[in-house]
Amino acid sequence: MNTAKKRIWAIAGGKGGVGKSFLSTNLSIDLALKGNEVALIDGDFGGANLHTFFGVNQSKVSISDFIRSTSLSLDDVLMPTAIPGLRLASGAHDVIGMASPKQIQQSKLIKSIHALRVDYLVIDLGAGIAPHTLDMFLASNSGVLVTAPEPTSVENTYRFIKAAFYRKLKNVMVHSGVRSLLEQITETKHEDNPKTPAELIGKISGINAQAGETLKYEIAAFKPKLVLNQVRTPSDVRVGFSMKQACLKYFGINLDYVGFVEFDNIALQSIRARQPVILNAPDSVVSNSIRRVGHNIRQNYHLVPTS
């Protein structure tokens, strides 16, 4: 395998309960079944639960042990699963101590993830916009946002996109005046804050022309991917296209709508049985949906409206 071609998928969501862990698990299995070497990382430091989707107990060593140890490598905490080619790094044992890892711990984990010798690395992130969650999302090749087609979930997804984008800008902007402006925009509600991408570019260019050009580049390069879960109707499917249009209009960000997972009772039954649905019911509607989503992420395809 060639680590230069390794793909890192970070699965995130602004709201809990939208199916991030469910999707992360089944996408990872699908990748392994296609002959890839895959590592699945439980990056939900506040509520690690990926092991339950495999019907196994939490491993004796976890991500928290790796982060705190000077001798363990990330390879050491990756345990084999029943699926050939797929290994799992269990989440933190000490939830209280690891819910918000320090920056040096976060940097160690990200560096080790990039050095890991696998074809695909899938990270199941916690819900919300904690700084470490945003940094892990931004460190991936493909940042995938999972949402459900209901208002609170959609709203929290917009909040995540905005927070991740401004976090990205803070990481690349070095001009002190520009950084101060970004702090003002993200931490306070002020009537002078820019309301559109054009206004933001104008304000930053007014402070520093080079920073304005950097902003244009970063807007063009930031392309998170969207997956709708628990889709029941054609109107639910259209929510993804509406979100794509809204992101472009209000944020200037291209949101790639890579697919949806149709609602299927077999998914809930599989979760309760602690068996991945893509193995438990490979020919089901939901399993076929997951495979289509995985294909679109791999091929960098996105959905387009039919009318």
**List of the chain residues with pLDDT < 70:** 1-5, 46-48, 55-59, 92-101, 307
Residue 122 included in any domain: yes
Q: What is the pTM of this model?
A: 0.89
| In a domain? residue 180 | no
Integer Cα distance of 181 and 183 in angstroms: 5
Structural tokens at position 171: 């990481």
Give a yes or no: residue 82 inside a domain: yes
Give the pLDDT confidence score for residue 64 in this predicted structure: 78
* 21 inside domain: yes
Distances (CA, A) of 218 to 12, 170, 171, 215: 20, 11, 11, 5
Please, which residues bridge with residue 147 across strands? 228
Number of compact structural domains in the chain? 1
CATH number at residue 26: 3.40.50.300
pLDDT at site 57: 64
Q: Which residues pair with residue 88 across a beta bridge?
A: 40, 79
Asked if the structure places residue 237 within a domain, the reply is no
Is residue 43 within 8 A of residue 37, CB to CB? The reply is: no
Give domain status of residue 305, yes or no.
Answer: no
Tracing tokens 């939208």 back to the chain, one arrives at: 18
What does the pLDDT read at residue 96? 46
C-alpha to C-alpha distance for 189 and 187, rounded to whole angstroms: 7
- Decide if 9 is inside a domain: yes
- CA 33: distance to chain centroid? 22
Domain that holds residue 89: 3-146+258-299
- The pLDDT of residue 107 is 82
Backbone torsions φ then ψ of 257, nearest 5 degrees: -85, 100
In a domain, 154, yes or no: no
